[in-house]
Amino acid sequence: MTETRPGWALIIHGGAKEIEPGDEQANRDGIREAAAAGGRVLADGRSALDAVECAIRVLETLPVFNAGTGSALNAAGGIEMCAGLMDGRHRSVGAVTVIQDVRHPISVARRLLPEKEILLAGEGALLFAREHNLELTLEESLRSDAAPAQQEHDTVGAVALDSHGHIAAGTSTGGLTGSRVGRVGDSPQPGSGLYADDRTGGVSLSGDGETIARIASASQIIARLRLGEEPGGAIEAVLSELPEVGGEDADGGAIAIGADGRIGWNHNSPHFAVGLISEGMNEPGVWLAKSEDTQR
């Protein structure tokens, strides 16, 4: 049977978390802005990688999301960020962790993609950003009074399928509030917080990073897609393992696109801000919670 490949599609998330009523509009607006920006990239015939980077850069700019500007503070009151990007064409990975003083961690990850190394940490990641003239900033400017209460998960992420049939996935986060200095969660780790493979699909997660990593969540979701499961169901099955491994507070959310163009998401956190745009849509759909989820 021949399936016609659908056109391009982009799905993004603003973190598995609880959204305070006062933050709902900012979440909705930010997700809509980022999805629309990434959607324009795909509509122009550009790559899934470009769209994922573009959407995440918008989210990193907005203080309501815990990534880039507005990142959570660690136990020492500092900001250490992580980001990861994966190119499904050849399964290449660029990721940074415990990076400080850069405005767009996702763009540092993007620049690392063609290199042999897949993950740079701390000083080395900052040195790499400097060497490649990526935008540096002072920690003060990444702090924001407008940042959310900062106790909850809030990583941002995106998955895109471009009109050439290529898939990319990305994540960016300020990590968890009050975490140990040097702590690394799932977000920059391929197979945990993200994965992309043109043959199968792409996925990006948010939530309890240690637990997500312990069950290799992204690779498990990809394995289920490979068996033909639809993305929403594959995600639901994997997320259901989180409490068993990490305790009842271990929650998360994920977005995915299959190589066949099927799109899905799911979460077991109170909220999960999601934006979706695909070929033929004039503007993105935006959902903040399960009660609003109409498509999986």
Positions marked active-site: 155
Task: Kindly list the distances between the CA atom of residue 168 and the CA atoms of 180, 195, 208, in Å, as whole numbers in the listed order.
Answer: 30, 8, 23
Are 153 and 252 a contacting pair, CB within 8 Å? Answer: yes
Our CB check for ligand ASP shows the closer of 212 and 259 to be 212
Binding-residue total with ligand ASP (CB under 6 A) = 15
Task: Kindly list the distances between the CA atom of residue 224 and the CA atoms of 136, 221, 228, 258, in Å, as whole numbers in the listed order.
Answer: 39, 5, 7, 10
- Out of 92, 107, 172, 206, name the contact with ligand ASP by CB under 6 A: 206
Site for ligand ASP in 26-55 (CB under 6 A): none
- Out of 23, 60, 186, 197, name the contact with ligand ASP by CB under 6 A: 186
- Out of 170, 190, 207, 258, name the contact with ligand ASP by CB under 6 A: 207
Are 67 and 148 a contacting pair, CB within 8 Å? Answer: no
Strand-pair category, 167-173 with 81-87: antiparallel
Cβ-based neighbour number of residue 63 at 10 Å: 20
- Out of 71, 107, 163, 187, name the contact with ligand ASP by CB under 6 A: 187
Sequence-distant (6+) residues with CB within 8 A of 105 are 60, 67, 68, 81, 82, 83, 96, 99, 172
Residue whose CB is nearest to ligand ASP in the complex, by number = 209
Given the rule CB under 6 A, which of 51-59, 125-133, 185-193, 288-296 is the region that contacts ligand ASP? Answer: 185-193
Task: Kindly list the distances between the CA atom of residue 153 and the CA atoms of 66, 179, 278, in Å, as whole numbers in the listed order.
Answer: 8, 12, 27
The answer to whether residue 154 forms part of the interface with ligand ASP (CB under 6 A) is yes
Our CB check for ligand ASP shows the closer of 130 and 180 to be 180
What are 173's two structure tokens? 């986060």
Our CB check for ligand ASP shows the closer of 94 and 175 to be 175
Our CB check for ligand ASP shows the closer of 92 and 155 to be 155
Residues that bind ligand ASP (CB under 6 A): 15-16, 66, 153-155, 173, 175-176, 185-187, 206-207, 209
